[in-house]
Amino acid sequence: MIRLRAALPGDVGIIHNFIRRLAAYEREPDAVKMSVPALHEALFGEKPRAEALLAEDNGAAVGFAVWLETFNTWTGSPAMHLEDLFVDEAARGRGVGAAIISHLAKLAMARGCQRLEWMVLDWNEPAINFYRRQGAAPLADWTKFRLSGAALAEAAQREDLSYDG
Protein backbone atom coordinates (compact mmCIF):
# COMPACT_ATOMS: atom_id res chain seq x y z
CA MET A 1 0.00 0.00 0.00
CA ILE A 2 1.38 3.42 -1.00
CA ARG A 3 1.46 6.06 1.74
CA LEU A 4 2.74 9.64 1.69
CA ARG A 5 4.17 11.20 4.82
CA ALA A 6 6.10 14.27 5.85
CA ALA A 7 9.81 13.67 6.01
CA LEU A 8 11.34 13.43 9.49
CA PRO A 9 14.90 14.28 10.56
CA GLY A 10 15.78 10.59 10.54
CA ASP A 11 14.86 10.40 6.83
CA VAL A 12 17.59 12.74 5.64
CA GLY A 13 19.90 9.92 4.53
CA ILE A 14 17.09 8.36 2.47
CA ILE A 15 16.27 11.72 0.89
CA HIS A 16 19.94 12.36 0.12
CA ASN A 17 20.14 8.97 -1.58
CA PHE A 18 17.06 9.81 -3.67
CA ILE A 19 18.64 13.15 -4.64
CA ARG A 20 21.77 11.33 -5.82
CA ARG A 21 19.67 8.85 -7.79
CA LEU A 22 17.71 11.70 -9.38
CA ALA A 23 20.96 13.42 -10.38
CA ALA A 24 22.18 10.18 -11.98
CA TYR A 25 18.88 9.81 -13.86
CA GLU A 26 19.24 13.41 -15.07
CA ARG A 27 22.73 12.57 -16.39
CA GLU A 28 24.53 14.63 -13.73
CA PRO A 29 25.75 11.96 -11.28
CA ASP A 30 28.59 14.12 -9.94
CA ALA A 31 26.54 17.31 -9.56
CA VAL A 32 25.29 16.67 -6.02
CA LYS A 33 27.63 18.52 -3.68
CA MET A 34 25.30 18.77 -0.69
CA SER A 35 26.21 16.60 2.28
CA VAL A 36 23.75 14.77 4.50
CA PRO A 37 24.37 17.26 7.37
CA ALA A 38 23.78 20.21 5.01
CA LEU A 39 20.54 18.62 3.81
CA HIS A 40 19.48 18.09 7.42
CA GLU A 41 20.10 21.78 8.13
CA ALA A 42 18.18 22.82 4.97
CA LEU A 43 15.13 20.75 5.87
CA PHE A 44 15.13 20.72 9.68
CA GLY A 45 17.53 23.40 10.88
CA GLU A 46 16.79 26.65 12.69
CA LYS A 47 15.67 28.28 9.44
CA PRO A 48 14.37 25.53 7.11
CA ARG A 49 14.81 26.32 3.42
CA ALA A 50 12.56 23.58 2.02
CA GLU A 51 10.17 20.79 2.94
CA ALA A 52 10.13 17.15 1.95
CA LEU A 53 7.90 14.12 1.88
CA LEU A 54 8.44 10.44 1.33
CA ALA A 55 6.28 7.97 -0.54
CA GLU A 56 6.36 4.53 1.01
CA ASP A 57 5.17 1.13 -0.14
CA ASN A 58 4.58 -1.10 2.89
CA GLY A 59 7.08 0.97 4.87
CA ALA A 60 9.83 1.07 2.22
CA ALA A 61 10.63 4.46 0.66
CA VAL A 62 9.85 4.44 -3.08
CA GLY A 63 9.83 8.16 -3.85
CA PHE A 64 10.24 11.66 -2.54
CA ALA A 65 9.57 15.31 -3.20
CA VAL A 66 11.27 18.50 -2.02
CA TRP A 67 9.54 21.87 -2.37
CA LEU A 68 9.61 25.42 -1.09
CA GLU A 69 7.33 28.41 -1.04
CA THR A 70 8.12 31.41 -3.20
CA PHE A 71 6.30 34.68 -3.79
CA ASN A 72 4.71 35.89 -7.00
CA THR A 73 4.59 39.64 -7.41
CA TRP A 74 2.03 39.50 -10.20
CA THR A 75 -0.58 37.67 -8.14
CA GLY A 76 0.59 39.09 -4.81
CA SER A 77 0.42 35.61 -3.36
CA PRO A 78 2.68 32.77 -2.37
CA ALA A 79 3.55 30.11 -4.91
CA MET A 80 5.03 26.67 -4.49
CA HIS A 81 8.15 25.50 -6.32
CA LEU A 82 8.67 21.75 -6.62
CA GLU A 83 12.44 21.34 -6.63
CA ASP A 84 12.65 17.54 -6.88
CA LEU A 85 10.28 14.66 -7.46
CA PHE A 86 11.58 11.13 -7.94
CA VAL A 87 9.94 7.72 -7.90
CA ASP A 88 11.82 4.40 -7.99
CA GLU A 89 11.64 2.84 -11.42
CA ALA A 90 10.00 -0.28 -9.96
CA ALA A 91 7.24 1.86 -8.40
CA ARG A 92 6.50 3.96 -11.50
CA GLY A 93 3.11 3.55 -13.12
CA ARG A 94 1.44 2.79 -9.78
CA GLY A 95 0.16 6.30 -9.05
CA VAL A 96 2.97 7.37 -6.71
CA GLY A 97 3.94 10.47 -8.70
CA ALA A 98 0.31 11.43 -9.26
CA ALA A 99 -0.35 11.10 -5.52
CA ILE A 100 2.61 13.36 -4.77
CA ILE A 101 1.44 16.01 -7.26
CA SER A 102 -2.11 15.82 -5.87
CA HIS A 103 -0.86 16.15 -2.30
CA LEU A 104 1.30 19.16 -3.19
CA ALA A 105 -1.58 20.78 -5.09
CA LYS A 106 -3.81 20.42 -2.01
CA LEU A 107 -1.06 21.78 0.23
CA ALA A 108 -0.46 24.72 -2.13
CA MET A 109 -4.14 25.60 -2.15
CA ALA A 110 -4.41 25.29 1.64
CA ARG A 111 -1.50 27.74 1.95
CA GLY A 112 -3.05 30.23 -0.44
CA CYS A 113 -0.59 29.54 -3.24
CA GLN A 114 -1.85 30.45 -6.70
CA ARG A 115 0.72 28.28 -8.49
CA LEU A 116 2.60 25.01 -8.22
CA GLU A 117 5.57 25.15 -10.56
CA TRP A 118 8.62 23.10 -11.40
CA MET A 119 11.14 22.54 -14.16
CA VAL A 120 11.83 19.49 -16.25
CA LEU A 121 14.70 18.77 -18.60
CA ASP A 122 13.60 19.11 -22.21
CA TRP A 123 14.83 15.60 -23.10
CA ASN A 124 12.91 13.91 -20.26
CA GLU A 125 9.89 12.80 -22.30
CA PRO A 126 8.59 10.34 -19.67
CA ALA A 127 8.42 13.13 -17.07
CA ILE A 128 6.99 15.64 -19.55
CA ASN A 129 4.25 13.20 -20.54
CA PHE A 130 3.54 12.41 -16.88
CA TYR A 131 3.23 16.11 -16.01
CA ARG A 132 0.93 16.73 -18.97
CA ARG A 133 -1.30 13.87 -17.76
CA GLN A 134 -1.51 15.68 -14.40
CA GLY A 135 -2.89 18.74 -16.22
CA ALA A 136 0.32 20.79 -16.14
CA ALA A 137 1.32 22.92 -19.11
CA PRO A 138 4.82 24.00 -20.11
CA LEU A 139 5.71 27.68 -20.03
CA ALA A 140 7.04 27.95 -23.58
CA ASP A 141 7.70 31.70 -23.45
CA TRP A 142 10.13 31.57 -20.53
CA THR A 143 13.83 30.76 -20.50
CA LYS A 144 15.62 29.93 -17.28
CA PHE A 145 18.81 31.87 -16.57
CA ARG A 146 21.45 31.07 -13.97
CA LEU A 147 24.44 32.80 -12.41
CA SER A 148 26.80 30.36 -10.73
CA GLY A 149 30.46 29.77 -10.02
CA ALA A 150 32.80 32.43 -11.37
CA ALA A 151 29.97 34.35 -13.06
CA LEU A 152 28.10 34.64 -9.75
CA ALA A 153 31.25 35.78 -7.94
CA GLU A 154 31.99 38.33 -10.67
CA ALA A 155 28.45 39.73 -10.53
CA ALA A 156 28.73 40.03 -6.75
CA GLN A 157 31.90 42.10 -7.11
CA ARG A 158 30.26 44.72 -9.31
CA GLU A 159 29.63 47.98 -7.54
CA ASP A 160 26.07 48.80 -6.53
CA LEU A 161 24.97 52.36 -7.23
CA SER A 162 23.58 52.62 -3.74
CA TYR A 163 21.78 50.23 -1.46
CA ASP A 164 20.58 51.15 1.99
CA GLY A 165 19.20 47.74 3.02
Give the pLDDT score at 143. Answer: 87
Q: Is 162 a domain residue? A: no
Q: Is 103 a domain residue? A: yes
The residue type of 155 is A
Domain at 117, CATH number: 3.40.630.30
Assess whether 163 carries a catalytic annotation: no
91 Cβ neighbours under 8 A, 6+ residues apart:
2, 55, 57, 62, 63
Helix intervals (H) in the chain: 12-25, 36-44, 96-110, 125-133, 149-157
pTM: 0.91
Give the pLDDT score at 37. Answer: 98
**Domains identified in the chain, total number:** 1
The pLDDT tens digits of the residues spanning 55-76 come to 999 999 999 999 999 999 999 9
Q: Tell me the C-alpha distance between 3 and 60, whole Å.
A: 10
Q: Are 138 and 127 in contact (CB under 8 A)?
A: no
Q: Tell me the C-alpha distance between 47 and 54, whole Å.
A: 21
Q: Is 165 a domain residue? A: no
Q: How many Cα atoms sit within 13 Å of 1 on the Cβ side? A: 2
Q: Which domain holds residue 100?
A: 2-157
Q: Percent of the chain having pLDDT more than 70?
A: 96
Q: Is 72 a domain residue? A: yes
From 102, 129, 131, 144, the catalytic residue = 131
Q: Is 97 a domain residue? A: yes
Q: Is 164 a domain residue? A: no
In which order are the strands placed within the sheet that holds 51-57?
2-6, 51-57, 60-72, 77-87, 116-118
